[in-house]
């Protein structure tokens, strides 16, 4: 049993309804444009928004800001080796910086890359190298009707059937990299079993590909493995983490998630040759290899955060809080993706606002109503964020780590209930401006009520 007490507080205010309405209009009905000061409960992301521990704050003071050979780097390197089992790291300013370093090193024009589901920045960095990112989720991943069946226990898994079909078509030589994202953020934060990781390792060996784990939520994933994979029911979180990560040739890590830090990331590998090549690219894009885009103090905070993330009490409490939040929403009659994943509850906006067609962005309409009604900020991951795909209309309510308490979650559930009580009156939205890159439109596009 673990809980937290506050040793520092930040005041948050619910602005008046009039202010919320005005802010929404000024933001062009896009919550990325809202001033954070006017957001009451901020569930936009779990990335870099968590609360650091007193030990992490203490570690900041030790930061060694030397350009080369920083002691903070040594401490981060040791933490990654102890917690994740990888001896070589190249720090980066955040996860996408690490993606640029690694995929820029591994890929060439025309390559094909397989992943259980590519996160947006992963997809973009792979495409930026002229390569083709192909998703291989299992069938259960996006089947909202499936409910809590066995297939849903590890709905984040990588589908070897799909991957083999791609390889049969494109040829093994065209696929130099296979990625597994744990947990699978783009598939409702669902976990990946260790057994699936083993099979992907074998598959990568068969086609002679480099196997990369996108490990940003590796500790949350390990907590699910302990609950659901019989082989690991008596193992500790840190044992499971090392076992699962140990199958990969390289990791890309956003330390803003299970590094429990506000900024930073890294590439880690066991392959000395790959390490040397990544270092060269990192010097160009991130910084000298012993800081790579991070301040010394931030490397120290992450070194402590990584060790905290694999404490059993921490990881169990983390996924339990997200599950409790899911239960509160379900009890309030809100349709959600079940079972709940690791870092967020995903609301099924297509069902919640079934009177709105996809062209009127039901997910984004729900996001706006949650803000208007209760100052709550979530993010749309449906037809607004992913134009021209047949993804379900999901809204993600992500929980920052160690930040909100039950009363905050109750406020969100009450807000959602109030929105659903007047669902028929919720109008759809249409685009008022469209940025040049369709894949990134949800960050900056403006909308208006239909
Ligand atoms: N990979 C995954 C699976 C992610 O979820 C993210 C970030 C990244 C890579 C990139 O890391 O943000 O440090 O550059 N996800 C955040 C989110 C932004 O809200 O889900 P980053």
Q: Give the pLDDT confidence score for residue 48 in this predicted structure.
A: 98
What is the structure's pLDDT at 219?
Answer: 98
Contacts for 112 with CB less than 8 Å, ≥ 6 apart: 131, 132, 134, 166, 170, 174, 175
439 pLDDT more than 80: no
Distance CA 136, CA 411 (A): 37
In the chain, what is the straight-line distance between the N-terminal and C-terminal CA atoms, in Å? Answer: 49
pLDDT value at position 440? 81
pLDDT of 436 reads 84
CA distances from 177 to 174, 196, 201, 410 (A): 9, 17, 11, 43
Do 430 and 416 meet the contact criterion of CB atoms below 8 Å apart?
no
Q: Is 122 in the pocket of ligand 1 (CB under 6 A)?
A: yes
Distance CA 212, CA 179 (A): 5
Residue that wins the pLDDT comparison between 146 and 78:
78
Cα–Cα distance, 327 to 334 (Å, whole number): 10
Checking if the pLDDT of 388 tops 80, the result is: no
Query: Other CB atoms closer than 10 Å to residue 285's CB: what's the count?
Result: 14
* Residue 265 Cβ < 6 Å to ligand 1: yes
Cα dihedral sign for 38, 40, 42, 48? positive
Q: What CA–CA distance (Å, rounded) separates 376 from 387?
A: 24
- Interval between CA 220 and ligand 1 midpoint (Å): 15
Q: How far apart are CA 417 and CA 422, in angstroms?
A: 9
Q: Average the pLDDT over 44-54 and give the result.
A: 98
Spacing, Cα 95 to ligand 1 middle (Å): 6
Confidence band, pLDDT 50/70/90 cuts, at residue 149: confident
Atom of ligand 1 nearest to the CA of 343: 20
**pLDDT of 233-257, one tens digit each?**
999 999 999 999 999 999 999 999 9
Q: How many CB atoms lie within 10 A of CB 403?
A: 17
pLDDT of 389 above 80: no
Query: Ligand 1 in contact with 184 (CB < 6 A)?
Result: no
449 CA to middle of ligand 1, Å?
30
Pull the structure tokens for residue 41. 């409960």
- Residue found by looking up tokens 């506000």 in the block: 262
Q: Ligand 1 within 6 A of 214 CB? A: yes
In tens, the pLDDT along 222-235 reads 999 999 999 999 99
Question: Cα–Cα distances in Å, from 374 out to 242, 314, 428?
Answer: 41, 29, 19
Nearest CA to ligand 1 atom 11: 95
| pLDDT, average across residues 399-413 | 97
Q: Please list, in sequence order, all residues whose beta carbon lies within 8 angstroms of the beta carbon of residue 409, skipping any fewer than 6 positions away.
A: 321, 324, 325, 328
Query: pTM of the full predicted structure?
Result: 0.97
Q: If you measure from the C-alpha of residue 423 to the centroid of ligand 1, how many angstroms do you get, rounded to a whole number?
A: 32
Return the best residue to mutate from 49, 96, 219, 253 for the ligand 1 pocket (most ligand atoms within 8 A of CB). Answer: 96
Q: Is 19 helix (H, G, I), strand (E, B) or coil?
A: helix
For residue 142, the model assigns a pLDDT of 87
Please tell me if the CB atom of residue 49 comes closer than 6 angstroms to any atom of ligand 1.
no
What is the pLDDT, as a whole number, of residue 85? Answer: 98
* Helix H or strand E encompassing 314: helix 312-331
pLDDT band, residue 150 (cuts 50/70/90): confident
Chain centroid, CA 163 distance in Å: 22
Q: Ligand 1 in contact with 201 (CB < 6 A)?
A: no
Residue 2 has a pLDDT of 85
- Domains in the chain, start-ordered, CATH in brackets? 17-39+312-449 (3.90.1150.10), 54-309 (3.40.640.10)
Q: Output the pLDDT for position 96.
A: 97
Helix (H, G, I), strand (E, B) or coil at 26: helix
How far apart, in whole angstroms, are the C-alpha atoms of residue 69 and residue 299?
13
Question: Ligand 1 within 6 A of 115 CB?
Answer: no
**Confidence class for position 441, pLDDT limits 50, 70, 90:** confident
- Taking CA atoms only, the protein residue closest to ligand 1 atom 18 is 47
Alpha-carbon distance of 333 to 348, in angstroms, equals 12
Ligand 1 centre from 408 Cα, in Å?
24
Of 321, 181, 318, residue with least CA distance to 244: 181
Task: Write the ipTM.
Answer: 0.99
Residue 23 in tokens: 């802010």
Please work out, in degrees rounded to the nearest 5, the angle formed at the alpha carbon of residue 276 by the alpha carbons of 270 and 279.
110
Q: Tokens representing 217?
A: 């939520």
Cα dihedral sign, 295-297-183-387: negative
Q: Looking at ligand 1, which atom is closest to the CA of residue 217? A: 3
Average pLDDT score over residue span 179-200: 97
Query: Looking at ligand 1, which residue's alpha carbon is closest to its atom 13?
Result: 95
Distance 47 CA to ligand 1 centre (A): 7
Q: Which ligand 1 atom is the nearest neighbour of the CA of 94?
A: 13
Q: Which atom of ligand 1 is nearest to the CA of 184?
A: 3
Cβ of 77 less than 6 Å from ligand 1? no
- In this structure, of 18-27, 36-45, 62-71, 377-386, the range with the lowest mean pLDDT score is 377-386
What whole-number distance in Å separates Cα of residue 64 and Cα of residue 72? 5
Q: Does ligand 1 have an atom closer than 6 angstroms to the CB of 117?
A: no
Q: Which uninterrupted H or E stretch holds 380?
A: strand 379-381
């Amino acid at each position: 049993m673990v809980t937290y007490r506050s040793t520092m507080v930040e005041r948050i205010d619910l602005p008046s309804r009039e202010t919320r309405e005005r802010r929404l209009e000024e933001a062009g009905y896009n919550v990325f444009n809202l001033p954070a000061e006017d957001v009451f409960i901020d569930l936009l992301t779990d990335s870099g928004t968590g609360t650091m521990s007193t030990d992490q704050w203490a570690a900041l003071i030790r930061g060694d800001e030397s350009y080369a050979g920083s002691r903070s780097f040594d401490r981060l390197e040791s933490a990654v080796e102890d917690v994740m089992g990888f001896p070589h790291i190249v720090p980066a300013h955040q996860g996408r910086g690490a993606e640029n370093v690694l995929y820029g090193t591994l890929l060439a024009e025309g390559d094909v890359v397989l992943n259980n589901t590519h996160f947006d920045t992963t997809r973009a960095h792979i495409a930026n190298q002229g390569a083709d990112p192909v998703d291989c989720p299992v069938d259960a991943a996006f089947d909202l009707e499936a409910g809590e069946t066995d297939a849903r226990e590890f709905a984040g898994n990588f589908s070897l059937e799909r991957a083999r079909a791609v390889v049969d078509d494109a040829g093994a030589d065209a696929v130099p990299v296979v990625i597994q994202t744990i947990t699978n953020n783009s598939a409702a934060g669902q976990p990946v079993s260790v057994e699936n990781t083993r099979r992907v390792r074998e598959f990568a060996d068969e086609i002679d590909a480099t196997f990369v784990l996108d490990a940003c939520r590796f500790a949350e994933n390990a907590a699910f493995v302990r609950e659901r994979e019989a082989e690991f029911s008596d193992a500790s979180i840190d044992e499971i983490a090392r076992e699962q990560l140990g199958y990969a040739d390289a990791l890309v890590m956003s330390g803003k998630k299970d590094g429990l830090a506000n900024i930073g990331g890294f590439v880690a590998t066991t392959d000395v040759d790959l390490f040397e090549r990544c270092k060269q690219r990192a010097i160009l894009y991130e910084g000298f290899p012993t800081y790579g885009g991070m301040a010394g103090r931030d490397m120290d905070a992450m070194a402590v955060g990584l060790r905290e993330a694999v404490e059993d009490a921490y990881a169990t409490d983390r996924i339990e809080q997200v599950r409790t939040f899911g239960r509160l929403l379900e009890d309030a009659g809100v349709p959600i993706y079940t079972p709940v994943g690791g870092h967020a509850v995903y609301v099924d906006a297509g069902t919640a606002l079934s009177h709105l067609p996809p062209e009127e962005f039901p997910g984004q309409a729900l996001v706006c109503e949650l803000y208007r009604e209760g100052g709550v900020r979530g993010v749309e991951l449906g037809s607004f964020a992913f134009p021209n795909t047949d993804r379900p209309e999901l809204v993600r309510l992500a929980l920052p780590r160690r930040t909100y308490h039950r009363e905050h979650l109750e406020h969100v559930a009450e807000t959602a209930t109030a929105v659903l009580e007047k669902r028929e009156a919720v109008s759809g939205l249409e685009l008022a401006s469209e940025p040049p890159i369709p894949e990134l439109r949800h960050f900056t596009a403006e909308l208006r009520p239909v």
